[in-house]
Structure 1
């Protein structure tokens, strides 16, 4: 079967969208129940002001489908947590859908500012048959919990029919919305599969994880497979530096630390705080001198020429970071006891090679202000890798290369990707922020 042309949803939306997004808006209302005019007003706002063209498409797919009104009614009641039932107003489901369709008119291509601009290379490539099979398997796995928790009899069967008789993409979003509406607990493995399906369909991440109740595993400070590149101390350094991260350093320094410590949306709550705390503890209690610790941090954060004093003493600064991380961990898991995972010494030789071969490039790059601190940081990197932890040393090396704008060869980039894979990083850890020489 040929692939359907599917929209790149994250290009148009920052959160849930379409009919599932409307259902989420209804569930979020402070009152227990809403009426028809309020729902229509919410739909009209989403379609017009929020430019959610998918809402109209979802409604018209249901109208044009062979799915019985009873099944549509069951799914609707479940996704809105019985917050609005058209039947109580004497309105049948298809009549109600026609009313929704009227406030979500088809937008002509000329007036659509986004539809023709979706990047073709990012379009999802998944057949309806494959998606139908994948989503049905997740419904089957979740069915016992759905039937036990959702106040709509036969909801699993109705969702299956939606997937097979209407659209598997819509069926997946409605499965997520039902689980969110009734706080159905999702296992960590299934949660990872949900994220993978959402990625394949080009959803914004929040459309999957926001509001989902997950049976999280224990916090692991040794986790390295963060899907969006940097983490821990190099991530904080990147935020403070503010270049090439998409995140500018605004507000107070403490707010910057809190931002990184809380940046675990979609992850085990506390994950980012745990790895950041591990990094600062590892450096604080290492054999490195105070001057070496301070130089490493200040060069990684691009602060070798600043007059600000908040991090003039690296170890004292790390103590402040640790306090923020400790509070975050206490909030999300009061019984969690922070610990430092074993150092990844198996990569030491490969990382040391990169540090030593790049040392001249780094020191020669910074011939003016801050050159002495950069030289100290390079020496400290060598000692960190050899005597403390190659993993942290490698991540700080990558950050310092970016901060100092040192370009690397394609061959070195390939070696760095091999090291990153060996250390368990996600595929995109070595990404565009690491400058590469033109070929």
Structure 2
């Protein structure tokens, strides 16, 4: 089954808008509206409706899961390179609630469709493959970002693993790619073929994976 877009989408796609200047857009709700924007048009096309459906599904699955608020907060903060920081009184599920409400308001205005689904994307073989990749792929942030991670790489792996097993392997893998992009974490060349394999089995578009390709670590020996 082919996806409705070749780019990132859903919650992982939304996190890309939480860059260092995101607050100039407004509050979280305005960022969601910007993400789902139809421009000047009075109607949304099918792809835009499917984008909203994918975002709603990701958020609902994560909010209703057994993941802790701490897990959700870690996944969101690392996916935004800590450009989104949770306030003392804010929880991961409270943020998801705000995103969900903004998404539903958009759907009330422009229409609702069902999110795309394929049994392959949640099959045990795919879940196990994604979890194995999360467990084994090197995640080595550069010095610029290391101060944010501290000793939290193992905690991040655990949160991604729980997301893959209890929520969605599809979402967990997209968040893993977003963590790479947001924090300029290289992908070891030996693992790139495995990233391509998982991406293919999840029917993710070529533009999503190619956006990470520049981060492949060149481990080839230098020529004399």
1:326 maps onto 2:100 in alignment? no
2:122 alignment partner in structure 1: 345
1:303 maps onto 2:77 in alignment? no
Match of 1:259 among 34, 45, 50: 34
1:110 alignment partner in structure 2: none
**In 1: Cα distance, 2:181 partner to 2:61 partner:** 23
**In 2: Cα distance, 1:270 partner to 1:341 partner:** 15
Unaligned runs of 5+ in 1: 1-221, 243-247
Unaligned runs of 5+ in 2: none
2:9 alignment partner in structure 1: 231
Task: Indicate how the Cα distance of structure 1 residues 289 and 395 shifts in structure 2: closer, same or farther if over 3 A, else same.
Answer: same
What per-residue deviation string (whole Å, max 9, x for no partner) do you get for residues 68-118 of structure 1? Answer: xxxxxxxxxxxxxxxxxxxxxxxxxxxxxxxxxxxxxxxxxxxxxxxxxxx
What per-residue deviation string (whole Å, max 9, x for no partner) do you get for residues 261-320 of structure 1? Answer: 23697643422111111111111001111111111111111117x666299411100000
1:314 maps onto 2:88 in alignment? no
For normalisation by structure 1, the TM-score amounts to 0.42
The Cα shift of 1:401 comes to 1.4
Task: Indicate how the Cα distance of structure 1 residues 385 and 320 shifts in structure 2: closer, same or farther if over 3 A, else same.
Answer: same
Task: Indicate how the Cα distance of structure 1 residues 319 and 311 shifts in structure 2: closer, same or farther if over 3 A, else same.
Answer: farther
Match of 1:436 among 211, 216, 224: 216
Report which of the two structures shows the higher radius of gyration computed on alpha carbons: 1
**In 2: Cα distance, 1:386 partner to 1:277 partner:** 19
**In 2: Cα distance, 1:403 partner to 1:301 partner:** 6
Task: Indicate how the Cα distance of structure 1 residues 431 and 337 shifts in structure 2: closer, same or farther if over 3 A, else same.
Answer: closer
Contact preservation (8 Å) 1:233, 1:279: yes
For normalisation by structure 2, the TM-score amounts to 0.78
Task: Indicate how the Cα distance of structure 1 residues 326 and 387 shifts in structure 2: closer, same or farther if over 3 A, else same.
Answer: same
Give the 3-state SS of the residue equivalent to 2:206 in structure 1: coil
1:378 maps onto 2:157 in alignment? yes
The correspondence of residues 269-308 of structure 1 with structure 2, limited to 5 A, is 269-303=48-82
Task: Indicate how the Cα distance of structure 1 residues 428 and 369 shifts in structure 2: closer, same or farther if over 3 A, else same.
Answer: closer
Higher relative contact order (CA 8 A, sep 6+): 2
Give the 3-state SS of the residue equivalent to 2:184 in structure 1: coil
The correspondence of residues 176-215 of structure 1 with structure 2, limited to 5 A, is none
Contact preservation (8 Å) 1:237, 1:297: yes
RMSD of aligned residue pairs (Cα, Å): 3.2
The Cα shift of 1:378 comes to 2.1
